[in-house]
Amino acid sequence: MTTLELDVAVVGAGFGGMYAVHRLNELGFAVHAVEAASDVGGVWFWNRYPGARCDIESMEYSYSFSDELQQDWEWSQRYPTQPEMLAYAEHVAERFDLRRHISFDTRVVSATWDAPSRRWLIATDTDLRLSARFCVFATGGLSVPRVPEFPGLDDFAGDVLLTAHWPREPVGLTGKRVGVVGTGSSGIQVIPHLAQQAEHLTVFQRTPNFSISGANEPLTAEAVREIKANYPALREHARRSFGGSTIPINRVSALAVDEQERARTFEQRWHMGGFAFLAAFDDLTLDERANALAADFVRAKIRAAVDDPEVADLLTPRDHPIGSKRICVDTGYYETYNRPNVSLVDLRAEPLEAVTAAGVRVGGREIDLDVLVLATGFDAMTGALTRVQVCGRDGRLLRDEWADGARSYLGLMVEGFPNLFTISGPGSPSLLSNAILAIEQHVDWIGGCLAHLRDTGNVTIEATREAQDRWVAHVRSVADRTLYPRANSWYMGSNVPGKARVFLPYVGGVGGYRKKCDEIARNGYDGFVLAGADGRTPDA
Ligand code: NA7
């Protein structure tokens, strides 16, 4: 056994863990990270399926902490592909010499608060142990893939591929009969690529989703030059914005304009692509009637894109308000169904009964397949944290504390778990915003907090029950004012059987959230208890 004695143990070396290592090291703390993968990149390391691409623009979905980095790095397209994101992560690791602080191919199995020493004792699946004053979980919100328990899945004679754990070596699909289950963002991105390669592609759809073309295109030198010249101001704008980006929100209700004006605005936003569509008016995720107008507009686009009216009908979502599930951003998704080698199976009409050696049985008929692709989602936002045995004060287990829904203060700390931080934890804007910007804000806040503890002679910090209860109630009441809780989405935990149905991210906007976090820090960490080595607050 090797035990590293540290100030801070970081779990995960995706974009959150990488920046935590960099920033906390820069602040003079002894930091080490543990990462299950063989290299950096997190979600961009694992999701290597063809067509994997970020749904936020590259010039925004990137680190802002180093102006040299953002000036030097060249993005090639409006939305970065997975290989480009991974190359960027590798570049950052190289540039800031991060890998020497990270143990790869090592998975954390438990983290235990040792009250007498006031340290976190962290065990891994190798002979590495960590003992640290602080523990930062940077385990990501979409890092635990969910594989449905289809009867017979193990009997399938062909290959089963998970989009979220796609093989590193190239997968040959030419001449193969391929099936794909899942039509969320991952399915919608992979389907056009599978269709181009496979002899025949069968899409097994349970619930149709709203998807908007990303209008992806190469970035012109001129556009890049302009953004780079204004980067500091643009980043500041994004930090103060609602969603963590510079997408302009049209501050008008969809109900306040006439039909022509509305159609013009929707059309214009449709062509801007991606999330800009949801900002066509400022009440699309708040007002049912406004939302229905936007949903109808997209439904008409689906009808126009798909040749076969029956297929178009099956692809048309009707069970949730548009945007209440994260909108999908695609490249040629609906048009893919016009190809002669693509067929759609509606699992509501023909339920998936079993996977057999030869393929899939739906509604009593067999569909023969060589390859089955599962794009079936993630145990989002809490899955990575509840899979580790996190044991806090008085033997309390995080997974038990969260059994009825995740509870946290600011999505940063949990009462009962002193000195343990979660980056983009449930209760923070996290995946409801530009994730890299959210990560930077959390890491910077944690860095400021640890420096404050050091400067004031405090050794522990813990959220109070009252502050946490107030925050949880606030997160829920803000969510309840929106249409988000109306969907069965991973935001709600409702894609995982048995998971508590609670809206997980904070939908109050990143600008206001950042202000709140900063104010709390400025006021001496309101809602937290700070204590010195003798258990008392040195400042008191
Ligand atoms: P999602 O959005 O959770 O989509 C998962 C898809 O898999 C969705 O269409 C599900 O249908 C389908 N699914 C899940 N379980 C089953 C079973 N048992 N049978 C049939 N179909 C099933 O995950 P993604 O990976 O696509 O996207 C997650 C996020 O990653 C995305 O929002 C972006 O932010 C990036 P359902 O809707 O449950 O009927």
| Average pLDDT taken over every residue of the chain | 97
Instruction: Give per-residue pLDDT as tens, 164-205.
Output: 999 999 999 999 999 999 999 999 999 999 999 999 999 999
Instruction: Give per-residue pLDDT as tens, 510-531.
Output: 999 999 999 999 999 999 999 9
Nearest CA to ligand 1 atom 25: 377
**Cα–Cα dist 432/411, whole Å:** 13
Using CB distances shorter than 6 Å, the residues near ligand 1 are 142, 148, 181-187, 206-207, 326, 347, 352, 375-378, 490, 495
pLDDT band at residue 534 using 50, 70 and 90 as cut-offs: confident
pLDDT band at residue 536 using 50, 70 and 90 as cut-offs: confident
Mean pLDDT score, 341-359:
98
Nearest CA to ligand 1 atom 15: 376
> For residue 73, how far is its CA from the centre of ligand 1 (angstroms)?
33
**Of the residues 495, 499, 501, which should be mutated to test ligand 1's pocket, given the most ligand atoms within 8 Å of the CB?**
495
> For residue 414, how far is its CA from the centre of ligand 1 (angstroms)?
28
Mean pLDDT score, 27-44:
98
Instruction: Give per-residue pLDDT as tens, 366-418.
Output: 999 999 999 999 999 999 999 999 999 999 999 999 999 999 999 999 999 99
Please tell me whether the overall predicted TM-score, pTM, comes out greater than 0.95 for this model.
yes
Confidence at residue 535, expressed as pLDDT on a 0 to 100 scale: 85
Q: How far is CA 382 from CA 26, 121, 256, 505, 511, in A?
A: 29, 21, 39, 11, 24
> For residue 420, how far is its CA from the centre of ligand 1 (angstroms)?
30
Confidence at residue 539, expressed as pLDDT on a 0 to 100 scale: 57
Nearest CA to ligand 1 atom 12: 182
- Which pairs with CB-CB distance under 8 Å and at least 24 residues apart come from 293-300? 293/254, 293/255, 293/262, 293/266, 294/254, 294/266, 294/322, 294/323, 295/210, 295/321, 295/322, 297/263, 297/266, 297/270, 298/210, 298/212, 298/270, 298/322
**Cα–Cα dist 308/240, whole Å:** 45
Those residues whose C-beta lies under 8 Å from the C-beta of residue 233, and which sit 6 or more positions away, are none
> For residue 328, how far is its CA from the centre of ligand 1 (angstroms)?
11
Helix, strand, coil shares, percent, the chain, to 5: 35, 20, 45
Helix H, strand E, coil C: the string for 206-258 is CCCCCEEECCCCECCHHHHHHHHHCHHHHHHHHHHCCCCCCCCCCCCCCCCCC
> For residue 375, how far is its CA from the centre of ligand 1 (angstroms)?
6
Confidence at residue 538, expressed as pLDDT on a 0 to 100 scale: 78
> For residue 14, how far is its CA from the centre of ligand 1 (angstroms)?
22
> For residue 185, how far is its CA from the centre of ligand 1 (angstroms)?
7
Tell me the two tokens of residue 199.
Answer: 């002899």
- Alpha-helical runs (H) found in 306-397: 309-314, 383-387
Strands 371-374 and 159-162: parallel
Instruction: Single out the residue of 256, 301, 300, 299 nearest to residue 280, CA to CA.
Output: 256
**Of the residues 183, 206, 378, which should be mutated to test ligand 1's pocket, given the most ligand atoms within 8 Å of the CB?**
206
